[in-house]
A = this chain, B = another copy of it.
Amino acid sequence: MVDNMKVAVIGVSQTKFGEHWHKSLRDIALEAGVGVINNANINAKLIEGLYIGNMSGMFTGQEHVAALTADLVGLSPIPATRCEGACASAALAFRQAYFSILSGCHDIVMVMGVEKMTDLHGSGVLTTLMGAGDKEWEALIGMTFAGLYALIAKRHMDEYGTTQEQLALVSVNNHKNAVENEFAHFRFPLTVEDVLKSTMIADPLHLLDCSPISDGGAAVILASEKKVKELKIEKPIWVAGSGQASAPLALHDRRSITQFDSTIIAAKQAYNQAGIKPEKIDYAEVHDCFSINEILAVEDLGFCKKGEGGRFVEENKINTQVKVNSTGGLKAIGHPVGATGVRQIVDIVKILRKNNGIGLTQNIGGSGATCVVNIFKN
């Protein structure tokens, strides 16, 4: 068992998320990287390693993004490693950085998530995203991620009586929360009616149940306890627990499609390491790539019982019991796929710098084949 509270986040940054037609992958990476060094207010020469979350070279044709970014940000020749687990890529990068510090090999490490999705268009983006699913059994029959999550939503509605209005309320809440978020892709409020009247993408998911295609980057700097003390860091936010699990890529290979075992297992590891129960979480950034996924998340993370996620949303417990996606979620902030996992951590850290409490991030890859859960404390 790993001691917790040995590694802290000491710097955070993110770029605005959105359609950045005038910016390249490297522009975004540079902005996030320089931003986080400024925010940590440390000498960049102290940074000993770089981990990058980036989902797919298919978006831009550029692989080897970690070494590229190390150079851009002025960090060469430090070791630079890209991690990929579809939309959970950035949380995987975070976790490897965390391990590299716990291992004693590094003391200060930068983690960045970055994705430039809009260089590809339409079907190219959907095809690339389906690289996160099972290519032979899902992509080649024409399945899309909206389709996969629609199957999950339909089944959840059938098994538990979850309603389209409850799904819509997820988007309504997240859009409301993003109005004040200067980095969000969308900063306008929605009504349930707006959601239900928007184009049907894959029944029962309307356009406004779906997170958008966004460009953006986010970065954090992690430091060992020793360095936090040495550098007299104000308001370090400690990693209290971390968990990760995998599951079969294809939905049909799961024992259930209305729960993500990867979330349940990763959350259990993180809660155990942090020594807390789900009811202790004050703030949670969860992976609402589609509205149904926030409902799965509140169930699988243990905020309510399985099947009660829809009611949990409807009864506004996503604001009263635990503040879920209080900065806007993937739906309204945007979802540059390889960046989201670090963006979630940036938001939790910003919240905890202002408020005492316990924060959690849940980052999902694909339709749940990868999940990383992290817990943070003051």
Residues of A participating in the B interface, judged by any CB pair closer than 8 Å: 1-2, 24, 26, 50, 55-58, 60-64, 66-68, 70-71, 75-86, 92, 95-96, 98-100, 102-105, 127-128, 130-136, 139, 244-249, 253, 261-262, 265-266, 365-366, 369-370
* Neighbouring B residues of A83 by C-beta, 8 Å: 81-84, 96
- With A247-B77, A249-B68, A261-B77 given, is the CB distance from A103 to B2 under 8 Å? yes
Closest CB in chain B relative to A255 CB, distance in Å: 11
Closest CB in chain B relative to A296 CB, distance in Å: 16
* Neighbouring B residues of A100 by C-beta, 8 Å: 96, 99, 103
Which residue in chain B gives the minimum CB-CB distance to A98? B103
Q: How far apart are the CA atoms of A131 and B80 in the complex, in Å?
A: 16
- With A24-B136, A103-B103, A247-B71 given, is the CB distance from A85 to B66 under 8 Å? yes
* Neighbouring B residues of A128 by C-beta, 8 Å: 57, 63
20 A-B pairs with CB atoms under 8 Å apart are A57-B58, A58-B61, A58-B63, A60-B135, A62-B135, A64-B85, A64-B132, A64-B133, A64-B366, A67-B86, A67-B247, A67-B248, A67-B249, A67-B369, A76-B246, A76-B248, A77-B261, A80-B370, A81-B95, A102-B103
Closest CB in chain B relative to A43 CB, distance in Å: 19
Pick from B61, B85, B133: contact of A139, CB below 8 A: B61
Q: How far apart are the CA atoms of A92 and B367 in the complex, in Å?
A: 26
* Neighbouring B residues of A104 by C-beta, 8 Å: 1-2, 102
Contact B77 A262 (CB under 8 A): yes
Contact B61 A135 (CB under 8 A): yes
- With A76-B246, A100-B99 given, is the CB distance from A58 to B58 under 8 Å? yes
Pick from B67, B68, B84, B253: contact of A63, CB below 8 A: B84
Contact A105 B71 (CB under 8 A): no
Closest CB in chain B relative to A48 CB, distance in Å: 11
- With A96-B99, A365-B67 given, is the CB distance from A76 to B247 under 8 Å? yes
Contact A57 B60 (CB under 8 A): no
Pick from B26, B63, B76, B253: contact of A136, CB below 8 A: B26
Contact B71 A63 (CB under 8 A): no
Which residue in chain B gives the minimum CB-CB distance to A55? B63
Q: How far apart are the CA atoms of A48 and B249 in the complex, in Å?
A: 19
Contact B246 A78 (CB under 8 A): yes
* Neighbouring B residues of A63 by C-beta, 8 Å: 55-56, 58, 84, 86, 128, 131-132
Q: How far apart are the CA atoms of A67 and B371 in the complex, in Å?
A: 10
Which residue in chain B gives the minimum CB-CB distance to A366? B64
Q: Taking A61-B135, A78-B246 as given, write out 4 further A-B residue pairs in contact, using a Cβ cutoff of 8 Å, ordered by the A residue number.
A: A63-B84, A70-B246, A78-B245, A83-B96
